[in-house]
């Protein structure tokens, strides 16, 4: 057996001790390693060889003044329309302009009813060129532009209609609704929901069917579950289909009523738990 074979177990123990000392966080220099190896009975020449080949990582942490980067999400920008459509300045039209504008608006209305929105746009825009102060024509132009998918121009037309007649509430409402739909801030605001406690929602549903849905903000669903449960209980206890009938004991109808009450009760518990854990899924309020 060679000398390297004789010292193999000792070398393994020494390496384990050195690794254990390094893991404890104490700094290990060559002298400390040599002392550990000597205590294990390793010959000096073998200690020298191990020190030359050993690679001990420095336990000292590297300090730096650099601060971690913090990514701040950019706030969504509100919708700013950039219309490509221009409107003539307000002026008083002549009687001939009024007559031509009325004829063009009739053509625009007929074309719009038939789904020819491009023709309707051309006729309505020509009518506004003759009567720039016609608020009704400007609002109609906004409707046509919205049907054509030209949202920015539609917003500009509704706004122009409000400028032509500040008392025209319908144009003001359409303008506000269209801007709100396009506003990038409306989407995250509509998703903001109050967090709910699923355990409390289930407990409320267990005490009173429908109460958990009411706690989750699903009032209509909670009311339906409560009314269905109440109707089934009334049918079971006080109707001829249940225990108030002439038959004594459980009948097929009373058994079916009991099963229906149990099913509705379990569905209410499960739905209250799902609704509290996934509040953003409550689009229609009827997904269980």
9-59 residue pLDDT tens = 444 444 455 444 444 444 456 777 777 777 777 777 777 776 666 544 444
Domain-located, residue 173: yes
pLDDT at residue 65, rounded to an integer = 54
Domain-located, residue 75: no
Position of tokens 């849905």?
213
Domain-located, residue 139: yes
Contact 128, 88 (CB under 8 A): yes
pLDDT at residue 116, rounded to an integer = 93
Dihedral (C-alpha) 130, 132, 134, 135: value to the nearest 10 degrees?
150
Looking at the structure, do residues 145 and 116 belong to the same domain, yes or no? yes
pLDDT at residue 12, rounded to an integer = 47
Asked which of 163, 189, 215 is the last residue of a domain, the reply is 189
Q: Report pLDDT digits (tens) over 237-287.
A: 888 887 776 667 778 888 898 999 999 999 999 999 898 887 654 444 443
Q: Does residue 80 surpass a pLDDT of 90?
A: no
d(CA 217, CA 204): 13
Domain-located, residue 246: yes
Domain-located, residue 84: no
d(CA 247, CA 249): 7
Residue 178 lies in domain: 95-189
pLDDT at residue 21, rounded to an integer = 47
Looking at the structure, do residues 184 and 205 belong to the same domain, yes or no? no
Domain-located, residue 287: no
Q: What is the number of other CB atoms lying within 10 angstroms of the CB of residue 194?
A: 7
| Residues whose CB is less than 8 angstroms from the CB of residue 51 and which lie 6 or more positions away in sequence, other chains included | 30, 33, 34
How many domains does the structure of the chain reveal?
A: 3
Averaged pLDDT of the chain: 78
pLDDT at residue 177, rounded to an integer = 86
Q: Report pLDDT digits (tens) over 136-163.
A: 999 999 999 999 999 899 999 999 999 9
Q: Report pLDDT digits (tens) over 162-200.
A: 999 999 999 889 888 888 887 654 455 444 556 788 899
Q: Which has the closest alpha carbon to 198: 214, 210, 216?
A: 216
Looking at the structure, do residues 119 and 202 belong to the same domain, yes or no? no
Domain-located, residue 82: no
d(CA 88, CA 129): 6
Q: Does residue 122 surpass a pLDDT of 60?
A: yes
DSSP string, 123-174: HHHHHHHH-TT-HHHHHHHHHHHHHTT-HHHHHHHHHHHHHH-TT-HHHHHH
Rounded to whole angstroms, the maximal C-alpha distance in the chain is 123
Asked which of 189, 209, 225 is the last residue of a domain, the reply is 189
Instruction: Show the CA angle centred on residue 27, arms to residues 26 and 31, nearest 5°.
Output: 120
Looking at the structure, do residues 115 and 136 belong to the same domain, yes or no? yes
pLDDT at residue 63, rounded to an integer = 52
Asked which of 169, 189, 209 is the last residue of a domain, the reply is 189
Model confidence band, residue 109 (pLDDT cutoffs 50, 70, 90): very high
Q: Which has the closest alpha carbon to 282: 221, 205, 201, 223?
A: 221
pLDDT at residue 247, rounded to an integer = 67
pLDDT at residue 196, rounded to an integer = 84
The crossing angle, in degrees rounded to 10, of helices 95-113 and 117-130 is 170
Token pair of 24 as six digits: 């404890």
pLDDT at residue 252, rounded to an integer = 85
Considering the entire predicted model, what is its pTM?
Answer: 0.41
pLDDT at residue 96, rounded to an integer = 94
Domain-located, residue 88: no
pLDDT at residue 67, rounded to an integer = 54
């Amino acid at each position: 057996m060679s000398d390297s074979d004789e010292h193999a177990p000792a070398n393994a123990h020494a390496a384990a001790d050195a690794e254990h000392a390094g893991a404890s966080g104490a700094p290990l220099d060559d002298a400390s390693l040599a002392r550990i190896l000597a205590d294990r009975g390793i010959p000096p020449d073998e200690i020298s060889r191990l020190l030359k080949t050993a690679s001990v990582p420095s336990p000292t942490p590297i300090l730096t003044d650099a601060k971690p980067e913090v990514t701040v999400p950019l706030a969504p920008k509100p919708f700013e329309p950039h219309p490509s459509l221009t409107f003539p300045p307000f002026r008083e039209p002549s009687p001939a302009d009024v007559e031509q504008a009325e004829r063009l608006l009739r053509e625009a209305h007929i074309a719009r009813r038939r789904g020819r929105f491009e023709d309707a746009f051309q006729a309505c825009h020509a009518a506004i060129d003759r009567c720039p102060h016609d608020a009704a024509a400007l609002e109609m132009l906004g409707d046509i532009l919205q049907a054509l998918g030209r949202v920015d121009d539609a917003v500009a037309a509704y706004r122009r209609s409000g400028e032509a007649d500040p008392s025209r509430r319908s144009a003001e409402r359409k303008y506000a609704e269209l801007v709100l739909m396009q506003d990038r801030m409306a989407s995250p605001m509509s998703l903001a929901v109050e967090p709910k406690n699923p355990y409390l929602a289930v407990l409320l549903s267990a005490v009173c069917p429908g109460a958990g849905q009411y706690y989750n903000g699903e009032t209509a669903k909670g009311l339906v579950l409560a009314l269905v449960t109440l109707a089934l209980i009334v049918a079971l206890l006080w109707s001829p289909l249940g225990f108030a009938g002439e038959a004594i004991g459980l009948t097929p109808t009373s058994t079916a009523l009991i099963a229906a009450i149990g099913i509705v009760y379990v569905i209410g518990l499960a739905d209250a738990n799902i609704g509290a854990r996934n509040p953003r899924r409550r689009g229609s309020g009827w997904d269980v």
